[in-house]
Amino acid sequence: MKKIIPIIISILLSAGMLSAAVFLLPETEDPPVNKQKDEIRSEISSNVTQTEKMEAKTSYSDIKGVWVPCMSINMSGTDRSKEAWQEKIDGIMKRIKDTGANTVIFHVRPFSDSIYPSEIYPMSHIISGVQGKNVDYDPLSIAVESAHEKGLQFHAWINPLRISTGKTPDKLAENSKISELESKCGGECIMHWDSGLYLDPSYPEVRKLICDGVREIAMNYDIDGIHIDDYFYPTDDPSIDSSEYKQYKENAGDKALSQNEWRIANINSLISGMFSAAHCKENCVFGIAPQCNIENDYNMAADVRRWCSEEGFCDYICPQTYVSQQHPIMPFNDQVDKWCEMKTADSVRLYFGLGLYKAGTDADNGSWLTRDDNLKTQAEYIKSKNADGFVLYSYDYLDKPETKKEMEELWRQ
């Protein structure tokens, strides 16, 4: 039962009928084994109609954004009170606004948890100190309100698959929806890699949980967007989901996809489901920030070519072009050109992530040390290519001594 959708995908691939709409199936119940093809196609057609009616907000050009990762909002060292959170958030939003930015991309779900009261995910340890321990206020509501008061758009940034990395969090919440899901799937829906834990998107139950979480945020908060970064499959190593792929191959037979193609189908299913979930709120957009290297994306099951060229996957894409113009292998301008050539869907906006954190360091063979206007010239090149804006990584580097000159040059242009 749990592998029926990948079988359907392989059938449609062989018939040349696979479209973005097929990946909306995870939003419905897993189809019964004896369901006729015509019935399944009818469901797909219905989803296509719904997707075509969704229109992204059109005022998202000239984005100047800043990523605020979970490390920047960790409440360690405070009394973890509402007042302490309000003070921290107001300071963050004021600094971003004073910088000249107009958008904040704010981490709200870093480890299959939440910085808001959720019926699906446990409260994050970065707020309360222990994952699953609640606080007596709503951190996300305060953050959204503070951003909007200062004229900033607010995009809620989530990591859909990551549960933990190393010893972070040092203790996972018990009796959470993740635990329930693990029990329901016989403990097989968790991938283990490099001391980290990740949800396995090949399970419809996993995709549904993630999409329900997106819908929960979009329906309950006055956000402007949902945003995910490059946490897809944690590796291209075939061992992390070998048993799931083996079962899929046994069911699909001669029409089975390769393991990477099968993983791509799983991620595409998840992405289109999240896109639909985000659009349950009017004027809420869905964006993705994949790695800069397109081939690396593909190897990690991120089908960026499709997301850039077809409707129904994202409203904007923001590759993490954290390289200098003089990078010895992947110079910035060349990477921008590749993404601009690949982005063909009119409904998809194109932003670029800029590596503020590299300014003043010896990264990229020391090329960030030879000039102070890397970010300025990068922003100018992006504008010359008619891209829709840029996002800086990250908030913590806005006021570093080594980034001061770069920031001054950037906002002077």
HSE-up of residue 26 (Cα within 13 Å, Cβ side): 31
* Tokens 């968790």 -> residue: 190
| Burial track 342-357 (b if 16+ CB lie within 10 A, e otherwise) | bbebeebbbbbbbbbb
Q: Categorize the per-residue pLDDT at 34 as very low, low, confident or very high, splitting at 50, 70 and 90.
A: very low
Structure tokens that stand for 66 in this block = 């800043």
Higher pLDDT, 24 or 160: 160
Q: Categorize the per-residue pLDDT at 412 as very low, low, confident or very high, splitting at 50, 70 and 90.
A: confident
User: 3-state SS of the chain: helix, strand, coil percent to 5?
Assistant: 45, 15, 40
Percent of all residues in the chain with a pLDDT value above 90, rounded to a whole number: 80
DSSP 21-60: GGGGGGGSPPPPTT--HHHHHHHHHHHHHHHHH----S--
Pairwise CA distance, residues 348 & 20, whole Å: 14
Q: Say if residue 384's pLDDT is above 50.
A: yes
CA Rg, the chain, in Å?
21
Pairwise CA distance, residues 119 & 291, whole Å: 31
Per-residue pLDDT at 186: 73
Pairwise CA distance, residues 301 & 324, whole Å: 26
353 forms beta bridges with 320, 391
In 3D space, the residue among 8, 348, 26, 6 whose CA is nearest the CA of residue 211 turns out to be: 26
Per-residue pLDDT at 49: 35
Pairwise CA distance, residues 348 & 335, whole Å: 18
155 close to 106: Cβ distance less than 8 angstroms: yes
Q: Say if residue 181's pLDDT is above 90.
A: no
Question: What is the second-level CATH architecture of the domain 65-317?
Answer: Alpha-Beta Barrel (3.20)
Average pLDDT over residues 84-95: 98
Looking at every residue in the chain, the average pLDDT score rounds to 87
Per-residue pLDDT at 254: 94
Cα-Cα-Cα-Cα dihedral sign, residues 200, 204, 206, 210: positive
Q: Categorize the per-residue pLDDT at 38 as very low, low, confident or very high, splitting at 50, 70 and 90.
A: very low
| Burial track 76-88 (b if 16+ CB lie within 10 A, e otherwise) | eeeebeeeebbeb
Which amino acid would we find at residue 322? Answer: Y
Higher pLDDT, 199 or 175: 199
Q: Say if residue 1's pLDDT is above 80.
A: no
Per-residue pLDDT at 327: 95
Per-residue pLDDT at 59: 54
127 close to 140: Cβ distance less than 8 angstroms: no
Q: Say if residue 24's pLDDT is above 80.
A: no
Q: If DSSP codes are grouped into helix, strand and coil, which group holds residue 206?
A: helix
pLDDT digits (tens, 9 = 90+) for 265-320: 999 999 999 999 999 999 999 999 999 999 999 999 999 999 999 999 999 999 99
Residue 240: Cβ within 10 Å count: 20
Q: If DSSP codes are grouped into helix, strand and coil, which group holds residue 239?
A: helix
Pairwise CA distance, residues 107 & 25, whole Å: 28
pLDDT digits (tens, 9 = 90+) for 45-88: 333 333 333 333 335 678 999 999 999 999 999 999 999 999 99
Q: Where are the domains of the chain?
A: 65-317
Which amino acid would we find at residue 157? Answer: W
Cβ contacts of 136 within 8 Å, gap of 6 or more: 82
